[in-house]
Amino acid sequence: MNLNPSSTHSERVTLITGANIGIGRVTALRLAQAGFTVFLAGRSAQRTQAVIDEIHATTKTSNKAFFLPLQLDDLDSVRECAALFLARQLPLHLLVNNAGLAGRKGQTRQGFEMAFGVNHLGHFLLTQLLLETLKASAPAKVVTVASRAHLMAYQGLDWPALQQATRSLTGTREYGVSKLANILFSAHLAKALAGTGVSTYSLHPGVVDTEVWRELPGFLRPLLRLRGLLTPEEGAQTTLYCALQAPASESGLYYDKSRIKTPSRIAQDAQLAEQLWHQSLQWVKAQS
């Protein structure tokens, strides 16, 4: 597997987490077809190779997609992933924080609640490590896949609980908290990047039939299907809109069905977003 495209590569470059299945796979395929060189960051080189082969077959090239090892539940792995990408001395025009899990209980390697650690904190650190390259590559974008599930986190963030094992029976409450964190992070990131040429977007992809739900208790899965699950192709559309079409003037906003959507009241709390930003910085620095 070739991991060293030319450092003089002139095409646009994107890094996508969790791109070996579901909406991440569709996103990677469509972005490659749109002309991007795609770095697919995930846990399994074997599973990702199938998507890389598919990208090369559809784009009729052999130097378009590359695997990067990444385990978002381990901040050391996040740092190693970023270092591997940065070592290639390529620009980065688009970072897609796509990977996510729901229903998996426990704690990450560094002791954070599992959904929060994977869905928010791992992506927070990855973005921080790639920020200077994004700014140097401007215009650039950061697209974070959040969820309408943030509506479940109407009580905000229970700070002590974020450093404890999953408490709820199904893990869905914690999933909602992690998705609230995604929206707050994206909104504050837009403020931090104002004037740099890097814009940010968060989104609800719809309730999509993907493996993000694989850890949910079996009795809940039929309930999801009763609501009408979208296909990964349908679920990737808002991500692709934000990546390819959303204007920089809409940086920091939240999207649903490829349109601006007003998130919950607490997801619009700028003070909470700033608090989460600074707390997340402290946590990832403490673990370095």
Is the pLDDT reported for residue 42 higher than 90? Answer: yes
Instruction: Indicate whether 1 belongs to any domain.
Output: no
Tens-digit pLDDT profile for residues 151-187: 999 999 999 999 999 999 889 999 999 999 999 999 9
* Domain coverage including residue 196: 13-286
Q: Average pLDDT of the chain?
A: 91
Contacts with 25 (C-beta within 8 Å, 6 or more apart), sequence order: 19, 51, 232
CB 142 within 8 A of CB 196: no
Tokens found for residue 44: 């399994």
Instruction: Indicate whether 7 belongs to any domain.
Output: no
What domain count does the chain have?
Answer: 1
Distance CA 126, CA 105 (A): 22
Instruction: Indicate whether 5 belongs to any domain.
Output: no
Q: How confident is the model at residue 8 (pLDDT cuts 50, 70, 90)?
A: very low
Is the pLDDT reported for residue 214 higher than 80? Answer: no
Instruction: Indicate whether 246 belongs to any domain.
Output: yes
Is the pLDDT reported for residue 129 higher than 90? Answer: yes
Instruction: Indicate whether 6 belongs to any domain.
Output: no
pTM of the model: 0.91
**So which residues are the catalytic ones?**
175
Distance CA 103, CA 100 (A): 10
Beta bridge partners of 230: 208
Interhelix angle for 172-192 vs 270-286, to 10°?
Answer: 100
R_g of the chain, CA atoms, integer Å: 17
CATH number of 116's domain? 3.40.50.720
Residue type, 100: G
